[in-house]
Amino acid sequence: MGMSSLKLLKYVLFFFNLLFWICGCCILGFGIYLLVHNNFGVLFHNLPSLTLGNVFVIVGSIIMVVAFLGCMGSIKENKCLLMSFFILLLIILLAEVTLAILLFVYEQKLNEYVAKGLSDSIHRYHSDNSTKAAWDSIQSFLRCCGINGTSDWTSGPPASCPSDPNVEGCYVKARLWFHSNFLYIGIITICVCVIEVLGMSFALTLNCQIDKTSQSIGL
C-alpha cells in the first residue's frame, strides 16, 4: 500500500467518522430537547432514569466520543487515538451481541417485567403527572389505549385514548409492530454491525500502515 492509498484510507475513515459525529450531535441535541421539555415523562418507576431523553443523550454522547476519536486518529495519523477508536468499537460490538443474546434467552421474563411495570404505572396515572404525561404521549402517538385495551383503565379510558372501543392496547400494538418488522430491524442491526466491523478494519489497517510508513522513512 503506497502513500496515495494511505491518504485515501485516512480520508475515508475521517469522513466516515465525521458523518457519524454529526449524527451523534443531532441525537444528543434531540435528547437534550426531550429532557428540557419533558413531554414523555416517566413510564417505569422502578427505573426512573429510563426515559427517552436519557437514552438519546447516552447514545448520542457515545457516538460523538467514538466518532471524534476516529476523526482525530485518522486525520492526525495518531496510533493511540486509532487504537482507542478500535477498542471502543470492539467493546460496543461485543455489548450489542451480548444484549441480543440476553434478550433472546430472557424474552419471556422481559415481557413479564415490562407488563408488570406498565400495569403499575397505570395505577399511578391520576396521582403522578410524569406518568400521566408518558401515557398520554404514548397513546396519542401510537393511537392505542392501555396495555391490552380500554379495559385496563378501571375508571374509564383517559382523553388521550382513541374513541374506538375496539382499539388495541399499546403493549400489544408495540409487540405486533416489532414482530411484523422483525426482518427490517434485523437488517438494520446487521448493517450497523457491518459498519462497526468496517470501521475497526479501517482503523487497524491505517494503524499498521502508519508503522510501515514510519519504518520506510527511517522514523
What is the domain-level CATH number for residue 51? 1.10.1450.10
Q: Which domain, by its residues, includes 187? A: 1-210
Per-residue pLDDT of the chain (219 residues), as tens digits, is 456 777 788 888 888 889 889 988 998 998 888 777 765 656 666 666 777 778 888 989 999 999 999 888 888 888 888 899 999 999 998 998 898 888 888 888 888 888 888 888 888 888 878 788 888 888 888 888 888 888 888 877 888 888 877 888 888 888 888 888 888 888 888 888 888 888 888 888 888 877 776 666 554
Residue 111 placed within a domain: yes
What's the residue count for the chain? 219
| Residue 18, burial from CB neighbour count under 10 angstroms (0-12, 13-18, 19+) | middle
Residue 215 placed within a domain: no
Residue 202 placed within a domain: yes
Residue 136 placed within a domain: yes
Residue type, position 196, single letter: E
Domain total in the chain = 1
How is 5-73 classified by DSSP, letter by letter? HHHHHHHHHHHHHHHHHHHHHHHHHHHHHHHHH--S--S-TTSTT--HHHHHHHHHHHHHHHHHHHHHH
Residue 106 placed within a domain: yes
Determine the angle formed by the axes of helices 170-180 and 107-123, rounding to 10 degrees. Answer: 150
In the block, cell 455489548 appears at: 95
